[in-house]
């Protein structure tokens, strides 16, 4: 039997988690915390120094600029195993010191909703909520403001819109199988076909302001109407908690809206959707703050999505490829195809290593990193994930990263997906969990046509 290779990265992460979980850690002065973290730095053979710190994620020290950058750790076992304690160690900034709240946050899953569908028991619970919402009293309709208004027929009730908005806001990456029952059940309410094709519905991100706009409009009609919308948001989020692709944001949304059910007057001073959005964000507890990065800082959110993408590409290591370089190349492929002019806006949010690879792939047609780009809608063989779970994770992380850079630059997401995500779909077409014939799919035929 082969010996199990020791992994210093895993060992340090376990050690830091145990140390920070100790209730006494919060009372330790910051300089002492920094000293303890400095003793747990790793150095890899390439000279890079690594810190498992804030956000419960790894950070890489760049010797050239002297700064720490959020960075997924090496994927190659031989590189990880060769890591040694960093002596001498660069200073650990106070802002990178981990807290108990960092370690308490569960990031859920990066998988898209292609391949593994939303579980049937969840869709049935959501369908029951939707039946009640669709049959709501006439005074629940119409609603007239906010991004959700563009999605529905004029007579659709606010509780129906609240459900859809919750599902889309909570989704890590709203790329759905074209046969997904969760979408089909809304078919009769939607005013226009969803973007995408027969295989995948590439849905745009739903901002939190869409939910607060709906709530504020209901509040103007009375506390009772607002409480009903808050209840629908909370009820939908509670069901979504069961799927890790929704769970982090669902938990955050619950924390933000549940107080409204007991204290309907809580947001009366807000006055408008933006003020309500700020009030909701302020109510989110620190341990769920990671779910709100897209709302609080689109640039930091992009960095976290690229971290996810690098992790989803870890399988390319077996081919001798660097997942970080591949991630930068795929980012370049999407930017080049969708909005090449926005590239300068992305450079400040990329660490030096990613920025160099991104620039090289973007500007040099003969660069080897161009070999990672899709050809005829297919990924190159080394970028085909080894199994369905890996493909779904790459699809989700890739689409989430695409939506993140679009948010940073103000670019409209392409209605038929980003080139690299669309190419990943070809790895999943024959492994989808299409609905069984016994599962009803309301308006499924309508929703398939674009």
Tokens of 307: 């971290």
Reported as a single tens digit per residue, the pLDDT across 214-260 is 999 888 888 888 888 999 999 999 999 999 999 999 999 999 999 98
Mean of pLDDT over the chain: 91
In tens, the pLDDT along 85-114 reads 998 889 999 999 999 999 999 999 999 999
- In whole angstroms, what is the distance from residue 401 CA to residue 388 CA? 20
CA distance 306 to 147: 27
Q: How far apart are the C-alpha atoms of 243 and 212, rounded to whole Å?
A: 24
> Residues near 306 by Cβ (< 8 Å), separated by ≥ 6?
327, 331, 350, 354, 401, 404
DSSP state of 193: P
Residue 50 vs residues 38, 130, 146, 324, 358: alpha-carbon distances, Å: 10, 48, 44, 15, 22
pLDDT on residue 84: 95
From residue 382, give the alpha-carbon distance in Å to each of 316, 379, 395.
6, 8, 15
Say if residue 389 is exposed, middle or buried (CB neighbours under 10 Å; 0-12, 13-18, 19+): middle
Contact in structure between 216 and 270 (CB atoms under 8 Å)? yes
Cβ burial, residue 7 (10 Å; 0-12/13-18/19+): middle
What the block records as the tokens of 40 is: 């747990």
pLDDT tens by residue, the chain, 450 residues: 445 578 999 999 999 999 999 999 999 999 999 999 999 999 999 999 999 999 999 999 998 888 999 999 999 999 999 999 998 889 999 999 999 999 999 999 999 999 888 999 999 999 999 999 888 766 666 666 678 888 898 888 889 999 999 999 999 999 999 889 999 999 999 998 899 987 899 999 999 999 999 999 888 888 888 888 999 999 999 999 999 999 999 999 999 999 988 888 888 887 888 999 999 999 999 999 999 999 999 999 999 999 999 999 999 999 999 999 999 999 999 999 999 999 999 999 999 999 999 999 999 999 999 999 999 999 999 999 999 999 999 999 999 999 999 999 999 999 999 999 999 999 998 765 544 433 333 232 322 222
The domain segmentation of the chain, as residue ranges, is 1-13+41-104, 120-293+442-448, 298-431
Which pLDDT score, from 0 to 100, does residue 144 have?
63
Distance CA 231, CA 218 (A): 12
Question: What is the pTM (predicted TM-score) of this model?
Answer: 0.93
Distance set, CA 293 to CA 171, 180, 286, 290 (Å): 14, 27, 12, 6
Task: For residue 141, give both structure tokens.
Answer: 């309709």
Residues 6+ away with beta carbon under 8 Å from 291: 105, 248, 249, 251, 252, 284
Task: Let me know: does 402 contact 423? Beta carbons within 8 Å.
Answer: no
Cα–Cα distance for residue pair 245/235, rounded to 1 Å: 17
């Amino acid at each position: 039997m082969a010996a199990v290779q020791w992994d210093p990265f895993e060992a340090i992460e376990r050690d830091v988690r145990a140390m920070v979980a100790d209730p006494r850690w919060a009372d330790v002065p910051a300089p002492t915390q920094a000293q303890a973290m400095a003793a747990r730095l790793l150095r890899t053979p390439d000279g890079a120094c690594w810190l498992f710190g804030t956000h419960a994620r790894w950070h890489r020290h760049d010797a050239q600029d002297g700064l720490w950058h959020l960075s997924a750790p090496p994927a190659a076992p031989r590189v990880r195993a060769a890591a040694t304690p960093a002596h001498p160690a660069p200073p650990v900034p106070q802002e990178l010191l981990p807290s108990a709240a960092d370690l308490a946050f569960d990031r859920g899953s990066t998988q898209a909703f292609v391949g593994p569908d939303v579980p049937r028991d969840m869709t049935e619970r959501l369908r029951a909520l939707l039946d009640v919402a669709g049959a709501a009293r006439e005074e629940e309709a119409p609603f007239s403001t906010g991004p959700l208004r563009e999605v529905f027929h004029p007579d659709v009730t606010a509780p129906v819109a609240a459900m859809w908005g919750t599902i889309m806001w909570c989704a890590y990456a709203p790329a759905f199988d074209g046969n997904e029952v969760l979408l089909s059940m809304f078919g009769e309410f939607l005013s226009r076909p969803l973007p995408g094709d027969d295989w995948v519905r590439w849905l745009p991100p739903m901002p939190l302001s869409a939910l607060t706009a709906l709530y504020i409009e209901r509040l103007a009609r009375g506390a009772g109407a607002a409480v009903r919308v808050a209840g629908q948001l909370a009820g939908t989020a509670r069901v979504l908690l069961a799927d890790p692709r929704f769970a982090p944001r669902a938990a955050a949304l619950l924390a933000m809206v549940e107080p409204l059910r007991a204290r309907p007057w809580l947001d009366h001073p807000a006055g408008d959707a933006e003020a309500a959005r700020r009030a909701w964000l302020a109510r989110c507890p620190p341990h769920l703050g990671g779910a709100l990065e897209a709302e609080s800082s689109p640039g930091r959110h992009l960095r976290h999505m690229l971290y996810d993408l690098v992790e989803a590409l870890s399988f390319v290591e077996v081919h001798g490829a660097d997942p970080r370089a591949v991630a930068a190349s795929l980012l370049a492929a999407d930017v080049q195809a969708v909005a090449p002019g926005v590239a300068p806006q992305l450079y400040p949010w990329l660490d030096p290593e990613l920025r160099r690879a991104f620039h090289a792939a973007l500007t040099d047609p003969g660069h080897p990193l161009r070999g990672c780009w899709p050809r005829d809608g297919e990924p190159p063989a080394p970028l085909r994930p080894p199994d369905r779970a890996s493909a779904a994770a790459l699809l989700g992380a890739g689409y989430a990263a695409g939506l993140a850079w679009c948010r940073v630059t103000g670019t409209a997401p392409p209605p038929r997906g980003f080139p690299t995500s669309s190419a990943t779909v070809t790895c999943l077409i024959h492994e989808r969990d299409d609905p069984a014939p016994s599962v009803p799919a309301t308006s499924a035929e309508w929703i398939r046509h674009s």
